[in-house]
Amino acid sequence: MPILSIKNLSIHFYTPKGVRKAVDRVDLELNKGEVIGIAGESGSGKSTLALGIMRLITYPGRIVSGEIYFNGENILKMSEDEFNKKIRWKKIAMIFQGSMNGFTPVFKIGDQIREVMEIHEYNGDYESRIKELLNMVELDESVANKYPHELSGGMRQRAFIAMALALNPEILICDEPTTALDVITQAKIINLLKKLKKELNLSIIFITHDLALLSEISDKLYIMYAGGIMERGNSLDIYKNPKHPYTQLLIEAIADINKDYIKGIPGFMPDLANLPSGCRFSNRCPFVMDICKKKEPELKRLEGDRYVSCWLY
């Protein structure tokens, strides 16, 4: 049984310009000790999906349908108080987008980690746990007595990872944890996450628009576009033989020292309040057919755990 199973999840935002389908009928499965990569352009619904798992969707957004099971229990049926006490941060924790700048500037790092432990009722010695966490992410214990502005971006990101691990979660959601970091620091953060996954047997959902980065860490890959899943399967299989035209274009857009230029994807993502009647990628697809503009393709199983949503198949 997967540790996390998402079925038919839809998250809509109700705006004056219409209902925006930020996440549209998404299915996802995460196994124990596995790393799932979620990739796609900005606005594809990756972060909204993560916030939905954490039950942090706020007005004007709302989870309108679907189920999220953690170890077989539907966490969407829990009250907010029950979810906060049993699941949030204790079983599922999250490194938020821009988290290295997410610390309150007027409180020391140790005090902010301690606050998380107090709110979620950690049962143990706070000071020794904070030291243990900092050592775990390869930071000196003295960092606990420093203010956020005294740390580099990479050190702040490590400190936030330490805070996410404070209550020994089983699942860690990483929403673009290396954004705005230089290449060397990115590599250090990725290597740290690999080490923590192995040592703690963590299950990780890693969200980014950088497919090259996901090749370093993910076991399975989910490609999102305009709120929907376009393709999913084993990461290596998708890199070697991408099936969906969108996945093919994303891989072609990866920067390569051997390329004379970076090839972009022409066109723009559709308005989430006015999605095309057929395939949501039809207005940008180089292989578009008549049926693509009339009927939306289902996510079809090709072989094994390989699925694609495209009329070419």
CB burial of residue 283 (10 Å; 0-12, 13-18, 19+):
middle
The domain spans of the chain are 4-91+169-308
What dotted CATH number matches 4-91+169-308? Answer: 3.40.50.300
d(CA 269, CA 91): 34
d(CA 311, CA 294): 11
Strands 228-234 and 300-303: unpaired
For residue 84, pLDDT over 80 is answered with yes
In Å, how far from its chain's centre is CA 34?
A: 13
Q: What is the pLDDT of residue 254?
A: 81
Average pLDDT over residues 277-301: 95
Judge contact between 51 and 38, C-beta under 8 A.
Answer: no
Residue type, 306: R
SS3 call for 11: strand
Pick from 70, 4, 47, 61: nearest CA to 227: 47
User: Cα–Cα–Cα angle for 39, 43, 44, nearest 5°?
Assistant: 45
Q: What is the pLDDT of residue 137?
A: 95
Q: What is the pLDDT of residue 28?
A: 97
Q: What is the pLDDT of residue 71?
A: 96
pTM exceeds 0.85, yes or no: yes
Helices marked H in the chain — which ranges? 46-53, 80-86, 109-119, 126-136, 153-164, 183-200, 211-214, 235-240, 245-252
Split at pLDDT 50, 70, 90, the class of 10 is: very high
**DSSP state string for 174-191:** EESTTTT--HHHHHHHHH
Minimum mean pLDDT among 16-20, 96-100, 167-171: which range? 96-100
> What residues contact 310, with CB distance under 8 A and at least 6 apart?
230, 231, 243, 244, 245, 279, 297, 300
Query: 165 is written with which tokens?
Result: 């691990």
